Structure 1
């Protein structure tokens, strides 16, 4: 293929669309699948059981599909699955999953992942997220759609980050971040809701109002988490337009373990 550089080492068993571009000195293993229009920069290593969708841009020096940094891993055929139209900048490291979870590390569509981002085994990243430079996810972390991680955000294993949330630079997360929440600190504390981000994404004034009411229940009224969940459930009658937003918050909070809790 003329769009694979002569110095690239590509396994004959790899399934690579004819429109894929592979830069100099990149290495692609035998179990790799890459969809149409994807560009792989120079000096990348893509290995393991890795599936990459269409129209992704993978910049130089990235390592995708390496085995997990988990001493329990014993060579099982776990996977890395990356969706479509993602931008993966320099020196990113995404590991395959582990047999202790689903066995799959997943990245959705239309994500913007800046330099030195690390996704450990069994992480799940949704769609339209932004990870600034050096965002680091330990194993089993789940990140919802439209979340934004500030530079040098570090996330403890098994933490969940809700949709439309945001972290400031150098945030350290040991607890779950509910949807819409903006947090900052080491360890992180909730500072506000991501109101400006919601407006930019087309949230109407009534929907933003419902998010404000949920923020009040979680952070302003000195309620326990259970009491806050009950208060939020009552909001559905007064905020009919925001029922889906309220349901998403309730579903997220229902899965929060008492041991981990949410950022406060």
Structure 2
């Protein structure tokens, strides 16, 4: 059930079961769907406003499901963007009309002078990053247990490597790890998981990592070493000694739970 062959490629639930070297051939059905949808609309009967709505609500949503599992080829993004661009500006007697604004400009929000069209490559990476976040937050799920046993056993997702001969789904999700790394931050609980100098854990800091340097603690020291274990409090003297004043204040403002809870992302 759910398995069928489309255009010579075996698919399950609408997704290709195998992705070889020719990504363009495997994902060609995506641009075909977009083109069929655009051809079905009478562009001469549609105003710019209606075209705007149709492109955002229909055309740029066709491949959302697929982009949540695979990173599509750059050439495919460009081809679809070209089709959408041509449809939006229209044509007359077989000749395309003048494109008054660059397509890259149309990606920008309306407040910045664009039309708010979706940057499909960036959106693709965001959807894949969402899958990576699920692997972090739901580590006991079937998908997380399957991928971790194959690619990042004894590590967490953010510390993982792409591995040897990875499947295309894993490689796609792994490449989106950089999106999570830009906005990730640890919520300190017992401090036993987070490395002081290497992990992001300062919520009010640009980059969330300490700028201070120290010869007192080793490079792999954990945040727990900055705490007084029995009192469940920060070691104020040590923190003021090691960190810059504004960083020390950030750390001291972080509440430490009375119960022994595990550090987590937020």
TM-score after normalising by structure 2: 0.30
Tell me which protein shows more helix as a share of its residues.
2
Of structures 1 and 2, the larger Rg is shown by: 2
TM-score after normalising by structure 1: 0.30
Tell me which protein shows more strand as a share of its residues.
1
Greater relative contact order structure (CA < 8 Å, 6+ sep): 2
